[in-house]
Each structure stands twice: as structure tokens, then as C-alpha cells.
Amino acid sequence: MSVLGQPLDRVDGLLKVTGQARYAGEYPTDGLLYGSVVSSTIASGRVVRIDASAALAIAGVEFVMDHGNRPPMAGDDEDYSDADAADGKPFRPLFNDRVLYNGQPVALVVARDLELARHAASLVRVEYVEHPWCSDLRAELDKAEPAPAELPEPRGDFEGVYQAAPYQVDATYETPIEHHNPMEPHASTVIYKEDGSLEVHDKTQGTQNCQNYLCQVLGLEKEKVRVLAAFVGGAFGSGLRPQYQLPLAAMAALKLRRSVRVTLTRQQMFTFGYRPRTIQRLRLASDAGGKLLGVAHHATGVTSRFEKFTEHVVEWSGMLYHCDNVKLSYDLVPVDLYTPLDMRAPGAALGLIGLECAMDELAERLGMDPVIFRELNFADSNMNEGKPYSSKALIACYNEGRARFGWDRRKAMPRSQRNGRRLVGMGMAGGVWEAMQMPASAKASLGKDGILTVSTATTDIGTGTYTALTQIAAQAAGLPVEQVRVCLGDSSLPTAPLQGGSFTISSVGTAVQQACEALHKRLLTAAASIDPDFASVTLDKISFTEGALVWGDKQLTYTDLVHASGVDAVEAQVDAEPDKKREPFSTATHSAVFAEVEVDEDLGTIHVTRVVSAVAAGRIVNPKTARSQILGGVVWGIGMAMHEETLTDHAFGRHMNHNLAEYHIPVQADVGDVQVIFVEEQDSIVNALGSKGVGEIGLVGVPAAIANAIYNATGKRVREFPITLDKLLDIN
């Protein structure tokens, strides 16, 4: 039986539930010091003076580091790379006396324990010269400038077609700033070694990215820095870039020649990147039969003064549906905030809100069922690229999703369904995410004990990577899963890309598969040394199963083959690249999301009672962990639709609800029944595994489906997200 496609329990599950899994802020070491960050209280200006005398007077406070006494940094602002950096001059903590945003780290207090460090940090006094500033996107709209994004060229004649079309929609949708709130705060434990090298445990999605960053910023040799992230307590974009606690901890360790840990507070988790605020204008046109004639999507997003952060917000509107006249544009507005960063399904989660809500509005004007309208405009090719899809089972998603959901019970007229005093509504939306594959390396090592160890530098941010790679390795090597060990999260292991974009299994999983297949060649060579008959046998005649090499009636165990090789372990390492057969095709995952809501007619409160998410993502390596990913995406989508919003006090340029009490995220009571359908989809082109990834697709489309359901319940279109009860109080 194939191991792939089986709902295997998480291989790291026992470690996590018993507390044996160590996270970045939990690694013990002798003489460890603790750092506490002092944050700026202005949005723009310069530091004139830092008075740390009161902090240093406390016994146990070792050092207060600022821009004037930190270790040297290599080069200037632009002299280092970051695998997830935006265009511009990336921020470096304590680089100089400039203050670029409210909450910026301006000093680090280092003490013998965390409580002492935090108390001492509260005693540090900072004097500033304040400069003019603005943190409000709307106040700076006149300063919008084109984003440095490679947008598809306009096709057709949108303006002409739009003006002449019998059915039109022109609507503007707004989405707020949203902040990551993973369970594990960002932390770095830097263990200083006697030879001056650093062993760094960091909350990151890319150990090698962090290693490169530290080496370039601090002028360190690569062999002197090892970054580890064996376990990550949630990330989904917040750990793609090295966050500022990492260089602060490293600089303090180098300065003091001691081990240092810096853990950010929950409030400080709001002092780096976020999902950017956007204003999106959608203009759609169709003929009387429901065929899309024109699509225009213009987005304006917020960015920092020092970097131009761009996302793929509008591109989806040119590829999800068939349309010959398309115009896509994207502007940025720089403000005095930190640079935004990637947040689950970056760009798509925002752009699909605009597109799919506008599609619902146009379907209503046509008097057409929203699902039928989308089916009518199905695109079998990505018109942005001019390439057919390697596979696209979106029609099956529509069909299986609406059948499971009971879409035929939906009434098109708003306010037509009730449950007592609650208005009932049903809505749906489509979803799309690119199915990427990146170059990746992996090593497979088979020991004398018959245990296969697979290693690669990628991380597991809680998505089940350890488990999926175990299954891939077991299947490819011909071993039971109990005899496979997976080593991840170590910069010294074979090269791997950042874990993000739903491409880890496609990229690293392919490398693992190929490494295990390369191992077969070495085992066959060993077999020939035991039995000369194997010398003339080709690999295609051999089967590798249950820990043995089998040819006809001859069978040799892996342990015998390793012993015959005269080495402790038979090893193979490969560098996997995307197959060239992908090049003529566009590759993507797709989904159809159906949502039901109940809205209290008197109070305006909203409850999502049911969601059905039908997903086409190629081969599902582990349906149990994959389902968990889709469930998490749906919950996050409920948050985007109804809860999540970072509130900024523009009088100070400071985020106000910087805690889990006031930054609202969904809890169990907010989530109704969620059903996940994995639609059958065969794809031999996307990669050898046929897998497309599920991390992002579970989120895209969910907020729009809920918004459309709220309209169906109440008859009120709310185009400013999140849709909170105050926006529905006038529905009677």
C-alpha cells in the first residue's frame, strides 16, 4: 500500500504535546543573559540622547546597547541581501540615530534574568528630535506612486468595452492593517562559543536566510554562524524575514562574549511587519448572457518610507476567469510605519476579496446564480501568461462544494431566510494560488541499523512538514515510516528555500524523493558486491520495498547492503530543480468556498454557522495534516472577514490594540461547522509528486464568501473590512 495519501499522525506530535519540543526561546545554556528591547515613542526623528544610568545602576544589569556602542556593522544600508526583502533600504536595528517608525528598537538592556531586564528597560530615558510624519494611508493618497511590481500588460480595450457593456459594477473595497499573532512570540537564543562562533536558535522560516543575514550585516564568516529552528510555533510569513530580535541578540552576544536571549513581548510583535492596508477599486462588465467583457482592478497599498513592499494583489483578477479586456494596476503610498510583510496567502487573500465580492455583485445585477456565473466564465488557461493550466479542477470544486453545502436551498433574494430573529444568508467565492516549485537540496543516509535519515535545511512551521517528508521518503526508499527520520531546521543541512508560498512539499519533497531514488543506485552497486548476478541488472528491474532490494526470487535487506558497502551509512544528496516540462504551463491550486451566516436582526451580530471548502491541489500527501491546513485557513478567513483589524492612533503613529485582548481573532465560539473536500486532481506536470501545496489556498476566497453571505442575509453590501456589527446596525 502506498504511504502517500494516508492520514498519518504527526511524527512530531508526541514531542509537542509532552513539551519535549524546544522552541527558539527555550534552549538552556550556562550563563545565559536576557535582553529587553527599548522601543521608540515617536514616529519619525532622531535620537538625541539615551540616559541608561538608572538601568545600569541595578545589580545584575550587564549592558545597555544602543547605536553608539553596538558592535560594528558591515557595509551600508544596501550592502546585504534578504531572501524576502522588499525594494529599498532594509531596516537594521541600532544602525544609526534615525527613528523611522513608532515602536522602533532604540536600545537593548541585557541582564541576568528576563524580569530584571524588562524592569531596567523601563528606566531607560530617550530624548528625541521629532520630524514631521504621517501614518495614515488615506491622508497620503495624493502621494501614491506605481509599485515596483511586474504586472501583466493590459489586454484588449477595457475602457471601451466597459462603457458599452449592458451590465457593470464599479465598487471600492477597503481592507485594514492586520498583524501576525502566532502563539510563539519572536525570539532568538544566541549561544556564544569559546571559539567566537554563534549557535543561534531563532523563530524563523528560513535558517539559511538568517545565517546569510547575520554574516553580511555583522561581517561574520559563514562557518562561524549556525542557525537552528527545529520547531516553530506558527509563522505564515512573520518568520520569512529576520526580525530585529535576531541581530540584537547576536550583537549583544558578540559585544559581551556571552550567550544572550531576546524575546519580544506580545506588544512588540506589533512593531514589525503586517498585512498592508489596501483600497481596491474593481470595475467589471458583462454582456446580457453573463460573459465577462472587461475586468479592471486597481489596488493602492501602504508601505514604509524606506522600502517599497509589493504583493501580487491584482494579478488574480486577470487569471481566475476568462476575459479578453483586462487592466491591472497597483500603487503604493509610503507612510511612517514599518514595512509590511508577507502574511498567509500574501496578495491573494486581499485581491480575492475585491474580485470575488465584485463578481457576486455583478451576478446579482444579472439575476444569475453566482456559481453558474463563475462556471460560465471558466478559464482553462492563465491569460496573464498565455499558458494553459497543467490542471484545473475548479469546476469539480464548484460541483462538489455546492452539493455538500446544499447550495440549491439558497434563496437569491436577500432577507428571504430566517432562523427566528436571525437572518440567514449563503454566499460563495472562488480561490486561486500559484503552485510554485523552487530549487532545493536533500540528503538521504541509510545506516547499518536500517534507519533512513533524510535531512534538509527547510523548517516546519507547524504545517506537518516533518510528517509529509517522512511519508515521501518512506515511499521513495521502500521503507516503513517507523524506520525514517527527518532532520530539518538547521542552516548546516542541504540548501532549502524559505518555507512559504505553499511550495515546501513541491520543492523540498521533490528533493527528498530524488535523494531516496539516488540511494537506490548505491544500494544496487552494493548488491553486486554480494551477488555478481546483480552486476548486470538495471534499476527498472529492481523493486525496493519493506527495507529490501528485490529481483525475482532474490532479496537482499538494506542492512546487509549497507554492511557490504563497508561504510557506516550509504548516502546520496541531490539538488532538485523544477522540471522543464513545467515551462509551457501555468500551475495553480484552486478552490470554491461556500459559507452560511446568521445575522441577528436587532443586534447586528454575525455568526458563521457553516463553511464548505472544496480544494483542488493535486496529490494530497497527507489528507489529515492537509485538512488541518484548510481548517486553519478557513478560521483565518473568518478573522479577516469579521474580526481582524489593527487600529492605529494617527496622532502618534502607534498601533493601539497591540495585544490579544483587543486585537480580535476568532475563537471556538466564532467558528461553526467546517467541512473540507479535496477534489480529485491528477497533475503529472507540476512536479514528480503531483502535489501543489495547501498552506495558502485554504484562506483565499473565505472572507469574500462570508461577505457575500452577509449580503444575502441582510441585503446590505459592506465593502469595508472587517465586517463588524456596527456596520450592520441599520439593517432593519
| HEC sequence for 219-245 | CCCHHHEEEECCCCCCCCCCCCCCCCH
Going from the C-alpha of 517 to that of each of 514, 522, 572, the distances in angstroms are: 5, 10, 9
Q: In the beta sheet, which residues pair with residue 672?
A: none
Q: Are residues 443 and 430 in the same domain?
A: no
Domain boundary among 531, 548, 577: 577
Q: pLDDT tens, 433-461?
A: 999 999 999 999 999 999 999 999 999 99
Q: Are residues 96 and 225 in the same domain?
A: yes
pLDDT at 11 over 90: yes
Q: Are residues 381 and 455 in the same domain?
A: no
Residue 163 lies in a domain: no
Q: pLDDT tens, 332-353?
A: 999 999 999 999 999 999 999 9
Mean pLDDT on 680-703: 97
Residue 665 lies in a domain: yes
Q: Are residues 421 and 544 in the same domain?
A: no
Cell numbers at 265, concatenated: 513581548
Q: What percent of the chain has pLDDT over 90?
A: 97
Q: Are residues 330 and 187 in the same domain?
A: no
> What CATH number should be reported for the domain holding residue 497?
3.30.365.10
pLDDT at 549 over 80: yes
Cell numbers at 582, concatenated: 513545467
Averaged confidence pLDDT in the chain:
96
Q: pLDDT tens, 484-519?
A: 999 999 999 999 999 999 999 999 999 999 999 999
83-92, 327-336, 570-579: the lowest-pLDDT one: 83-92
HEC-encoded secondary structure of 277-300: CEEEEEEEEECCCCCEEEEEEEEE
pLDDT at 304 over 90: yes
Q: pLDDT tens, 561-574?
A: 999 999 999 999 99
Question: Which pLDDT does position 131 carry in this prediction?
Answer: 98
Q: pLDDT tens, 650-668?
A: 999 999 999 999 999 999 9
Calculate the dihedral angle through the C-alpha atoms of 576, 582, 583, 586, rounding to the nearest 10 degrees: -130
Q: pLDDT tens, 362-397?
A: 999 999 999 999 999 999 999 999 999 999 999 999
pLDDT at 75 over 70: no
Mean pLDDT on 611-615: 98
Domain boundary among 577, 606, 630: 577
Cα–Cα distance measured from residue 615 to residue 80, given in angstroms and rounded to the nearest whole number? 39
Question: Which pLDDT does position 731 carry in this prediction?
Answer: 81
Mean pLDDT on 175-183: 96
Residue 270 lies in a domain: no
Catalytic residue among 159, 596, 696, 720: 696
pLDDT at 85 over 90: no
Cα–Cα distance measured from residue 465 to residue 437, given in angstroms and rounded to the nearest whole number? 15
Q: What percent of the chain has pLDDT over 70?
A: 99
Q: Are residues 591 and 700 in the same domain?
A: yes
Question: Which pLDDT does position 78 carry in this prediction?
Answer: 54
> What CATH number should be reported for the domain holding residue 188?
3.90.1170.50
Residue 358 lies in a domain: yes
Task: Tell me how crowded residue 585 is: count the other CB atoms within 10 A of its CB.
Answer: 18
Its domain, for residue 681, covers 278-436+583-728
Residue 588 lies in a domain: yes
Q: How confident is the model at residue 79 (pLDDT cuts 50, 70, 90)?
A: low
Count structural domains, the chain: 3
pLDDT at 76 over 60: no
Q: Are residues 634 and 666 in the same domain?
A: yes
Q: Are residues 569 and 598 in the same domain?
A: no
Sign, CA torsion 644/650/654/656? negative
Q: Are residues 474 and 445 in the same domain?
A: yes
Catalytic residue check, 400: no
Residue 598 lies in a domain: yes
Cα–Cα distance measured from residue 520 to residue 541, given in angstroms and rounded to the nearest whole number? 12
Name residue 75's amino acid: G
Domain boundary among 532, 561, 577: 577
Q: Are residues 458 and 570 in the same domain?
A: yes
Cell numbers at 387, concatenated: 499558458
Residue 18 lies in a domain: no
pLDDT at 728 over 90: yes
Q: Are residues 520 and 662 in the same domain?
A: no
Q: Are residues 648 and 543 in the same domain?
A: no
Question: Which pLDDT does position 376 carry in this prediction?
Answer: 98
Q: pLDDT tens, 17-71?
A: 999 999 999 999 999 999 999 999 999 999 999 999 999 999 999 999 999 999 9
Sign, CA torsion 465/466/468/473? positive
Residue 154 lies in a domain: no
Mean pLDDT on 199-212: 97
Instruction: List for the chain the helix, strand, coil content (%; round to 5).
Output: 30, 30, 45
Question: Which pLDDT does position 168 carry in this prediction?
Answer: 98
Cα–Cα distance measured from residue 63 to residue 394, given in angstroms and rounded to the nearest whole number? 59
Cell numbers at 440, concatenated: 532545493
